[in-house]
Amino acid sequence: MQQVFRSDVALGLPLYREVKHKLMESLRDGEWKAGDMIPAEKRLCERYGVSVGTLRKAVDELTAENILIRHQGRGTFVASHSQDRYMFGFFHICPKTGQKEYPKVEFISLDKDKADLDSARRLGVGKGSKLHRIVNRLSLSGRAVIVDHILLPDRFFPGLTEQQVRERRTTLYQLYQDSFGVAVLRTEERLDAEGASAEVAELLAIAPGTPVLHIVRRAFSFRDEVVELRHSWVVTTDHEYFSGDETV
């Protein structure tokens, strides 16, 4: 069925932005899931009652935002969380001299937890809500550089097991997607500096109180729900935070 749009004057938006909004609604509603190919241009143009040019502008924006991915000769797909996408879209720690490299991830623990006031506020859940807490240690070039504390609301990840986390073949975001149907669309990060706690210091083989970079990341789904809260502590002696695709 063709969808009728309100005028761009009423919305204050160009028509292609309305199309983009409708495409995002379909993603949030689960009509197309991560890894799915979206319908062909002709079908989408008929569905939205727009020209090919208008549709392509909407798809271009979603592609630039890494929400959709074009595969030449195959079609346009909803982005899924390959290792490369995680590496260049979400992992921002690299050597001060040199290129990004894949970290070696060492599983430390998986425990049940309850949201304290800060975690509840950041996750948008009630205080005391059930959480899973994953602790990982990440090494670069053979040296422990990062400790991650990852908090996951149980309502999105019911029954998460240590075996699933320990034996996953790729990134946690791929595990979320494949095992729980939770696709991470975007993240936001806040950075500050603090002294390493005794736990973090032990895992990173540094003295307690050593200055470390503290990164607080929230990961959002297509429905704009916070599905993960991650605290990362980074030793910056030889590494730095860099959000580009490669170092300069």
Give 110-146 pLDDT, tens digit per residue: 999 999 999 999 999 999 999 999 999 999 989 999 9
Kindly indicate the confidence band of residue 1, based on its pLDDT and cuts at 50, 70 and 90.
very low
Q: Where are the beta strands (DSSP E) in 96-199?
A: 104-114, 130-140, 143-153, 184-195
**Among 74, 73, 64, 70, which Cα is nearest to 20's?**
64
Angle at 229 between CA 184 and CA 193, to 5 degrees: 120
Cα 121 to Cα 135: distance, rounded to the nearest angstrom: 21
CATH number for the domain running over 8-78: 1.10.10.10
**Among 25, 92, 13, 91, which Cα is nearest to 54's?**
13
Residue labelled with tokens 């309850």: 114
Greatest Cα-to-Cα distance within the chain, rounded to the nearest angstrom: 64
Question: Amino acid letter at 156?
Answer: F
Per-state percent for the chain, helix, strand, coil, to nearest 5: 30, 30, 40
Residue labelled with tokens 């002709």: 42
pTM assigned to the model: 0.78
Q: How far is CA 203 from CA 4, 28, 104, 107, 244, in A?
A: 57, 38, 14, 12, 28
pLDDT of the residue at 30: 79
**Among 164, 169, 131, 125, which Cα is nearest to 150's?**
131
Q: What is the b/e burial string over 232-247, where b = at least 16 CB atoms within 10 angstroms of the residue's CB?
A: bbbbeeebeebeeeee
**Minimum mean pLDDT among 87-91, 115-119, 208-212: which range?**
87-91
Q: What is the mean pLDDT of residues 196-222?
A: 97
Query: Where exactly are the structural domains of the chain?
Result: 8-78, 83-241
Cα 171 to Cα 230: distance, rounded to the nearest angstrom: 14
pLDDT of the residue at 28: 80
Element housing 78 (H / E): strand 75-78
- The answer to whether 243 and 233 have CB atoms below 8 angstroms apart is no
pLDDT of the residue at 12: 60
CATH of 83-241, one of 3.40.50.2300, 3.40.1410.10, 3.40.190.10, 3.40.50.720: 3.40.1410.10
